Structure 1
Amino acid sequence: METILHKAATRGHFDHGWLQTYHTFSFANYYDPARVNFGALRVLNDDVVAPGTGFGMHPHRDMEIVTVPLHGTLEHEDSMGHASAIRPGEIQVMTAGTGIHHSEYAEKGDTPAELLQIWVIPDRRNLSPRYENAAVAGLVRRGEICTVVSPYPGDGHGLWIHQQAWFSLAEMDRDTRTVYTMKSGDSYGVYAFLIEGEANIAGTDLSHRDGLGISGTDSFEIYAVGDARILLIEVPEVE
């Protein structure tokens, strides 16, 4: 088994006033040749957007974009005519494909929007653009590893993307254990991101917003040192 640890403090960080953003992998003005991707996982941004502000209409292409809201409300509009608000307990998936424009704003008021925006390289280019959001809170059972995004439409695991990739959430109580088993023998590995709490994953201690890439194994143990919320992203290799 091989692991690569990305401590939270080593991420790229930019303070734009209205936006506090942390980049696990190279993005925009942050570039580290050793941190360009983990298999098909290309971007993992941890954003806090001030109320009433956000990202104006901007383009994307040939990428699967998964947004996980953590706090507050994020308002979405896109060039396909969708207008919706996503909140904690929901996930948004967007296939940029041949091209899509969208905007994202934190709802006006006193509460910033905190979110993870994750890009996965798709299994092919020039797909038809697609947008979907859905509540996934009902799929998450405390103490278990629960899939919320998979490669397969309609399999009962929430949303889907155009890639042999799985997104899972684990909400664990202090001093409990579980095992993650790879869903595909062809997977490059799993990227574990500690949203909250403390945990030991595959023998490595992680705390708030640390990330760990795990490869070369069929399974690994997760031990919750304290109450923990963990995002696990299993991805294939890309050329």
Structure 2
Amino acid sequence: MAQTVLHLANSRGKTDIGWLKSFHTFSFGSSYDPERMNFGALRVLNDDTVEGGKGFGEHPHDNMEIISIPLEGGLKHRDNMNNSAVISDGDIQVMSAGTGIFHSEHNNDPNETVKFLQIWLYPNQINVEPRYDQLTLNKNDRHNRLQQVLSPDPDDAGVWIYQNAWFNLGNFDKGVSTEYRIKAKGNGVYAFILKGSVEIDGQVLNTRDGFGIWDTDKFTIKALSDAEFLLMDVPMDFNI
């Protein structure tokens, strides 16, 4: 029988420092809950809003797979690998921090807010050479179907990371459903609802709710309204 965990939107931790408002599905910074440390290899799922012209100054990371998915506006990225780019709604960005990187992120617009998901996964290899990649996705490819945006295979659809994980985005009309088959034995899926309402395994989920499911091979996701969502298929047990 499938195992599940439900994280309602209003149960998330929160950081509010004026220019940054961030909701934390899992423990992050001063928002600590020993029962909410991770879902398998998924360590961080932050739902960030940054005021116009503001952002995160240069700071380090190491041995973590870091994925950014903009939802509104544009995010300016710079790093010590000489990458400089703006990622916007429809893009996905990945950094394998490996032996160590320094980077900064700022709202590229002085007047409008930017909203993005910041996601961290534990890698399956440590001390790799740091790398950066970004990809512009065709959002039409997720209308009433799942669009793979991340995998462990550089030759597969989307960006790739050092972990046996797959991400899919969906933008479903009300009443549309699909079956999802978990990609690898020992993996589970964490669903994060970006907008609207869906049902998974009998559980109704609304905007910004999170739901993990594992110990099953497949499940059905049905849109109860027009809905957008992210599915993160990740190892439940992992070694670094």
Q: d(CA) in 2 for partners of 1:21 and 1:195? A: 15
Superposition map of 1:24-173 within 5 A: 24-137=25-138, 140-155=141-156, 157-173=157-173
**Mapped partners of 1:170, 1:120: distance in 2:** 21
Q: Letter of the aligned partner of 1:210 in structure 2?
A: D
Q: 2:32 and 2:92 mapped to 1: Cα distance? A: 27
Separation in structure 2 between the aligned mates of residue 140 and residue 33 of structure 1, nearest angstrom: 38
Percent identity among equivalent residues? 48
Residue-pair matches, total: 237
CA apart distance, 1:238? 2.1
Secondary structure of the residue aligned to 2:135 is strand
User: Does 1:231 find its partner at 2:234?
Assistant: no
Q: Which runs of 4+ in 1 moved over 4 A?
A: none
Q: How far 1:139 moved relative to its partner?
A: 7.2
Residue 142 of structure 2: SS of its match in structure 1? coil
Q: Which range moves more in the overlay, 36-45 or 100-109?
A: 100-109
C-alpha root-mean-square deviation of aligned residues, in Å? 1.0
CA distance in 2 between partners of 1:23 and 1:14 (Å): 8
Verify the 8 A CA contact 2:142 2:169 in the aligned structure 1: no
Deviations 1:204-229 (A, max 9, x none): 11111000010111001111000011
Match of 1:203 in 2: 202
Structure 2 unaligned runs (5+)? none
Structure 1 Cα separation of the partners of residues 33 and 92 of structure 2 = 28
> 1:218 is matched by which residue type in structure 2?
D
What's the counterpart of residue 186 of structure 1?
186
Post-superposition offset of 1:108: 2.8
TM-score normalised by L of structure 1: 0.97
Contact 1:21/1:48 (CA < 8 Å) preserved in 2?
yes
SS in 2 for 1:38: coil
2:183, 2:140 → 1: CA distance? 17
TM-score by length of 2: 0.96
